[in-house]
Structure 1
Amino acid sequence: MRITVIAKQPVPGRVKTRLCPPCSPEQAAALAAAALADTLTAVRAVAADRTLLLDGEYPADGFDICHQRGDGLGERLANGFADRPGPTLLIGMDTPQADPELLGAALAWLGQADAVLGAAEDGGWWALGLRDPAHGELLRDVPMSTPDTGRLTALALAGAGLRVLPLPVLRDVDTLADARAVATMAPGGWFARTLAGIDLPVTT
């Protein structure tokens, strides 16, 4: 079993741009870096092979670094699955509240199905596990980063005859309201501490 984290190098102006304003690009990048750090820490605590599917450069001890390739996100995801063999749970860097217990359970559920899918509250998904990484090809034709991405991904998997088990629905970090809500779910993590150290308006 493998856990792959898809991530973008936390460079100001390239990550978490929907946090700006009220965040500055530097503050948004700091929050992205903290979310990624929490995610990598959680994955390290799970008994699994580990890959960081990376856009840019980022040090990640204990992870096999695999650079993203492809024009669109669907293509990069499909290639990310194809580039590493075996059952794989792919997660993003925007859900730092996903703890080792949840990730371990997701891997266990993947052992009982063809796929597992964790929907995000915004209509996307935060995790996709495939027992056969060749099924990642289904993602090439799924519109990404839309309110229907999760639903269309589920339809694509079901349409291929795969047995899919749902994972818990999580809230990912896109807006400041998201960031504050997620921080309360993992108050001891780097993300929550980084957010607490940023002077931001009380209302959004």
Structure 2
Amino acid sequence: MATTPSIIMRGFVGTDPKLFAVHSRTGQSSGCSFRLGASRSYWDAASQQWKARPSTWLPVHCYGVLAQNVAGSIRKGDSVLVSGYLETDEWGEGDDKHSLLVLKAQSMGHDLLFGTSTYRRLRKTQNATTKSYLSIDQLTAPVSTTDSKAQSGVNITQDTCPEDAAELLDEYTTSQEINADGGSDENTANEEKNSVDADFLVGAEAM
């Protein structure tokens, strides 16, 4: 069985990445596209200087979590390294049939030869039915607090990330259930648990 070889392409981002919806039998996901320009330089002995060859331009497509991360991290003009494979997209029929060579990215990052970058690891959440990642907005958004939450005994501050807030909430509700079993007022425990808003529940976009 023939396989498509992977390639690594170094270049600069020619257009700001754009997100688009991808529909399939398994549901809806995200896609992202931008144009990547790559050029090579050569030494011209006659002029005794480096000269650039014409740039090669390719559209880059990526999907899922990678698409969301690219849209939140990559900008026009950035130097990047893209790992993926080349694929020909075709559409139309008969005389109106068109084709386009596309670099389908499987991983991507800034080229640190030309600049610096800051890395933020995505936090993975999992329950009985889904495995998902927190979005960039969820990772960077602070968790708000109110007087009722402060009195609940959950030690959550403005700097608490959403996933840590969820863990603290789980610990708190578990301790309240144990106390209720030990003879405390069950109604009071339920009221205290309900005072913790859904603000602390971590929502994640399903893969």
Fold conserved between structures, TM > 0.5? no
Structure with the bigger percentage of strand: 2
The TM-score normalised by the length of structure 1 is: 0.24
Structure exhibiting the larger radius of gyration computed from Cα positions:
2
Q: For CA contacts below 8 A with separation 6 or more, give which structure has more relative contact order.
A: 1
